[in-house]
Amino acid sequence: MKVNKHYCKKLAAIVLAVAMAVLCSSCWNYIEISKLAVIMGFSVDKPESEGVYNVGVQIVVAHVLASEGTTEAYMMEQADGFGMQNAFFNIRRKTGKMLFAKNNQIIIISEEVAREGIVPVIDFFVRGVDGRLGELLAISKGSSAFDLLALPYSTEKFPALHINKTLQRQDFNADIKETSVLDFANACLSNTNCPIVPVLSKSDDSCAEYVESAVFKDGKMVGTISTEETLMLNMCQAKIATTSMIVFVDGDYFNLDVNSTVLKSHYDKNGDSYAAKYEIIVEYTIIDTNSTRNLSEPQIIEQISTALNDKLQGIFEALVSRSKEFNSDFFGIGEEIYNRYPKASKHTLDNWNTEYGKVPISATFAINAFKTGLILNTLTINGGASK
């Protein structure tokens, strides 16, 4: 049979044109933006009526965002449900729009829900909604998560964005340990690690204020640690660059900029027993003081360094005590032991719930004064204003 070459070329050109029309066209499953509800924040509370969860969302009001004025550029919506997915679907029914969670900034969970366990909540954000695993978590205290998410701010169009930035201030105030959905999910999959999550409360000036950190064990909130103890945990995990601390010497205060921490951690093995030791090198600068003493004298600097060492040691011991009280390995010691002794530690880590309390945890601090000349010639030390 004779094949017409001209016909074959025409057929190939048609097939190629159709393929290009399909493959090079714009997205065929697009949704008009007017049909989307862009979510900036989530809240999870216990329902007032029937159901398991009350889920709230902060949604962008697009036409207000595009206009100039003082009208709020967001709306709040909430719904009860038997499970996270059901509550989420009920919100979709109320709004009549497709809920878009890719721009979500924060997930606030009430303390009541957290103490009952938030693994189902985390599982929903990992698998049940098209969001981002980097979304930050927070626990609400003293008010509902929904009310905390809805607090307005003059500095941001969206409260969720303001809260997100508050939790990410770790670079210049290291008493916060931010925890994402992915961080919490990874801890849930670990035999040993226990996450901590920032706790927010409504301040006197109606702002969401960070007050402490929630400690979790087996997906349930079992207690809290203070902001100072959270700072120490960040120091033990080498996750801070600078922070501010105040010490007192003979009634005088010294405001210190702790501007460098270098960590050496040791996880020693003795038979089937393990011990964790931290060596933390701290450099500080004296920023402010009400003292009139001569800070160029070595004994004065030594007294300040001793006071700082005593304060850090006390915070560390309190942190270890809380960790043992909750039987919660938020230090990540079990994981570090496994990394160093993967085979030898199997029995210990398989029984970490009972073995963790037996692990000695200690720390030493090497304190060094830095740039002491910055404070030597102040008005306070000179006895008042210059004449």
Per-residue pLDDT at 385 exceeds 60: no
Residue numbers of the domain that contains 295: 228-387
| pLDDT-derived band at 8, boundaries 50, 70, 90 | low
Q: How is residue 239 written in tokens?
A: 């996750």
Domain edge (last residue) among 225, 251, 283: 225
**Domain total for the chain?**
2
Residue 24 lies in a domain: no
- My answer on whether 250 and 211 are in the same domain is no
**Judgement on whether residues 232 and 104 belong to the same structural domain of the protein:** no
189 located within any domain: yes
pLDDT over 70, % of the chain:
82
pLDDT at 22: 58
pLDDT score of 69 = 54
Domain identity same for 210 and 232:
no
* Domain boundary, last residue among 208, 225, 242: 225
Decide if 135 contacts 125 (C-beta within 8 A).
Answer: yes
Question: What are the residues whose beta carbons fall under 8 Å from the beta carbon of 118, sequence distance 6 or more?
Answer: 44, 109, 184, 216, 219, 220, 221
pLDDT over 80 at 286, yes or no: yes
If asked whether residues 260 and 336 sit together in one domain, one would say yes
| 46-50, 340-344, 351-355: the lowest-pLDDT one | 46-50
Backbone angles phi, psi at 337, to 5 degrees: -65, -40
Does 220 share its domain with 243? no
Q: What is the pLDDT of residue 31?
A: 58
Query: Which residue from 111, 161, 169 is spatially nearest to 135, judged by alpha carbons?
Result: 161
* Angstrom distance (rounded) from CA 243 to CA 230: 12
Residue 387: what pLDDT? 38
